[in-house]
Structures are given as structure tokens and as C-alpha cells.
Chain A
Amino acid sequence: AQSVTQLDSQVPVFEEAPVELRCNYSSSVSVYLFWYVQYPNQGLQLLLKYLSGSTLVESINGFEAEFNKSQTSFHLRKPSVHISDTAEYFCAVTGTGGFKTIFGAGTRLFVKA
């Protein structure tokens, strides 16, 4: 079985400041890891994913996440946020071998001018 814990329910931050959204998981099998984003009044969409290989993965809009197997973490970071990054971010895990995808409770990122 898998589980996901997002350690912060809300993260307020000023525009152009760095941000880190934390995610820890537990699983008895190897996993694939994902971050999804939900902008206000929109559906969930994929932000980035870790499947294998390099532990640092990036998105097209400047976010990055690092898979840390020893700490079972997959924290999301951005060096400089924009107002348009205001959204809810969900960490998700899928066990390899056809297991279900489980989501964390989400972190609401609020970027202030």
C-alpha cells in the first residue's frame, strides 16, 4: 500500500521569492511520483513526473522536484514564483506493477504581489 503526506496545507509567498512544497510518501514497492496542479476553477493537470533515471525532474514553467529515496521525499521547488503560480498542488504516487495512484491532501500556494 502507498500513502502520501503533504506537510503544508497552505504556503503564502511573495512574488519572485523561492518556494518549496514538501511531499513525503510511503510504499512497500517501487514507485512513480507525480506533481499535479489545479488552477482556480480548472481541472487537475500534470506538472511533472519522476519515473526513473535522474532524480531531478523539471517542468516547462520553472518548477523542479527531486526524488530522494532514502528520505522517501519528492519536494517541489521553484526559485522565483509568479502571481500566476497561485494554485493547489498535489503530490501523487503510483506503485510500479499496476498499482493505484494515490494523492496527497494538497498544498495551496498563494503568491502575493
Chain B
Amino acid sequence: DTGVSQDPRHKITKRGQNVTFRCDPISEHNRLYWYRQTLGQGPEFLTYFQNEAQLEKSRLLSDRFSAERPKGSFSTLEIQRTEQGDSAMYLCASGYLGDSPLHFGNGTRLTVT
């Protein structure tokens, strides 16, 4: 169990640029989540995969956000045409199906200038 890893740890970008984050979950885990966390708030659900299928995407998420999980392994989260309001910590978490808790990565901190 090497844990959930996320890359990069930090990303600074200019408004209007595209960014892509990567998450490598714990290898046996079926579920993979992306959350966004801002200062003083709880993790806000963005999207959720079960194996390679994207089962749900938050209604609050604009079309600028897209996520993939090819072959049910690693996942990428892309934000197109970034805005200052996208500045946040983006968290990835993985777990088994059913009642198992989630294991979180250390997150990618995005700053949009």
C-alpha cells in the first residue's frame, strides 16, 4: 500500500490557461473521487469513478472541468480556461466498493493569478 499520490503538489497558472492534475490511487481500489477544498471548508464533491466508469459529476461543476480514468487505474482532472475562482486544493481519494473509508492524497494546490 503506497498510498494515493497526486501530481503536481502545487500549480500556479495564469487565468485562461488549461491545467491537468494526475491522481494515482491505491491499486486495488475500485472507487476514485475528486474533491475541491477551499480554506475553512469541507471537501466539495466534484466527480466519482467506479472502475473506469464516471458515475456522477457535481451539478456545480462547469463544463470547463473534465475527468477521466482510463482502464480504471490513474485519473486526470483537467480545468480549461482557468478562472481565479478555481484556486483551491484539489483532492483525490480512493477506496473499495461499499463500506470502506476513503484514502486521501495530499492534494494539488492550484493558484490562478
Contacts and interface: CB of A to CB of B under 8 A. Distances in A.
A102 interface: yes
A32 interface: yes
A46 interface: yes
Nearest to A9: B40
Query: Which bracket fits the contact residues of A?
Result: 20 to 34
B107 A100 contact: no
Query: Which bracket fits the contact residues of B?
Result: 20 to 34
A45 interface: yes
A66 to B, nearest CB: 18
Interface in A81-110: 90, 92, 94, 96, 98, 100-106, 108
Interface string A6-22: 10010000000000000
B8 interface: no
Interface of A: 4, 6, 9, 32, 34, 36, 43-46, 49, 51, 90, 92, 94, 96, 98, 100-106, 108
21 contacts: A32-B99, A34-B101, A43-B91, A43-B104, A43-B106, A43-B107, A44-B102, A44-B104, A45-B104, A49-B99, A90-B43, A92-B102, A94-B99, A96-B99, A98-B55, A100-B48, A100-B55, A102-B45, A104-B42, A105-B42, A108-B40
